[in-house]
Amino acid sequence: MTDRERLDAFRGRFGIGVEPEAAKRFATRVIHAAKQSILDLEYAARYHLEGEFAFRNGSKLATGRTVLGDPRIAHGILEEIEAADGFTAVVERAQHLLWSFEARGYKLNEGRNPGAAFARRLEEAIQLSPGIDLRLEKAEARVELAPAGVPLLDEAVDRSIAWLGRYPDVQKEYRQALTILAERKAEQYRQAQDSLRFGLEKLLKLLLGYELRLEDQGKPLKEWLTQRGMHDNLRDAAVQILGILTKHYQNAAVKHDNAVADGAVKFWSDFEVEYVIYQYAALIRLLMEATAT
């Protein structure tokens, strides 16, 4: 995979948000981790790392005042992390630093070199930051940030959302659902599930060409999948899942049963909403793959 593909795939993962205060504390920990690791570098190695980061991050590397004891660097890695506007920017710049260490020949998943030290400190920063749903994916000498959760299922969500770039109105609905879940805003869990429903309804109307309600798209979807050579049993399972999610679950438990008693708001657990998102992501991925055939 090229650097550009890695960057696009990485950016596509993070259309989510985090509570501002939690994000600020995490950013401070990332700055400490970066500072400690940069100070472990020799003078020339530090300068080359700053240049690699500036190139990848698209930031300036100016000369003038002293930064971390290096008179050649007046603006660099720490300033960029400190200036990051929001959680997504902090995560992106932490990843740029990981890639910069990697590009300079440091093996991030082994040894006691400064790059590996930064990866370990970054992992510790994540562990010390409640509400920051991240993990480090480690493979050979490489380390990359990813959303926390079940890796295989997260990959399905990530790719599904990224592929929806052709349908921005649909993608917007799914990003909203992911944001609500990522921020654990339980009072908005109904809205998150409504967004999933609206998004899939819009997508099926575009793909199938029928202006039908989502719960009435079962037959057109079955015909559409048949035309694309999908195995009968799997096709029927996909259509059945669509019916269960829309007719049996969302119409009954989300759309028409928000008040459980005496005006109380219906409660959903985090894992319930996460499961619904995974189910919708699996359907989206199936549709996107079938569209390409």
pLDDT tens figures, 58-102: 987 765 445 555 555 556 888 899 888 888 889 999 999 999 999
- Name the residue range of residue 244's domain: 153-291
User: Worst-scoring range by mean pLDDT, 43-52, 57-66, 120-129?
Assistant: 57-66
- Domain match, 186 and 84 both: no
Phi first, then psi: give them for residue 292, nearest 5 degrees.
-75, -10
- Domain match, 17 and 144 both: yes
- Domain match, 130 and 176 both: no
- Domain match, 144 and 7 both: yes
**pLDDT band for position 152 (cuts 50, 70, 90):** very low
205: enclosing H helix or E strand:
helix 189-208
Mark 12-39 as b/e (b = at least 16 C-beta within 10 Å): bbbbbbbbeeebebbbebbbebbbebbe
pTM of the model: 0.54
- Domain match, 226 and 130 both: no
Whole-angstrom CA distances from 38 to 118, 125, 266 are: 9, 16, 50
- Domain match, 271 and 233 both: yes
In the block, which residue shows the tokens 């793959």?
Answer: 289
- Domain match, 121 and 66 both: yes
The CA distance from 224 to 161, in Å, is 22
Give me the mean pLDDT over the 17-38 stretch: 83
- Domain match, 35 and 142 both: yes
Phi first, then psi: give them for residue 131, nearest 5 degrees.
90, -10
Spatial CA neighbour of 223 closest among 211, 209, 213: 209
- Domain match, 60 and 142 both: yes
Pair 283, 184: CB distance under 8 Å:
no
- Domain match, 211 and 143 both: no
**pLDDT band for position 56 (cuts 50, 70, 90):** very high
Examine the fold and report which residue of 148, 179, 202 is the final residue of a domain before the chain moves on. Answer: 148
- Domain match, 18 and 138 both: yes
Number of domains in the chain: 2
- Domain match, 85 and 131 both: yes
Examine the fold and report which residue of 93, 115, 148 is the final residue of a domain before the chain moves on. Answer: 148
pLDDT at 253: 72
Examine the fold and report which residue of 148, 173, 208 is the final residue of a domain before the chain moves on. Answer: 148
Phi first, then psi: give them for residue 73, nearest 5 degrees.
-115, 115
How large is the greatest C-alpha to C-alpha distance in the chain, in angstroms? 69
**For residue 213, pLDDT beyond 60:** yes
Other C-beta atoms within 10 Å of 93: how many?
A: 25
Give me the mean pLDDT over the 182-202 stretch: 85
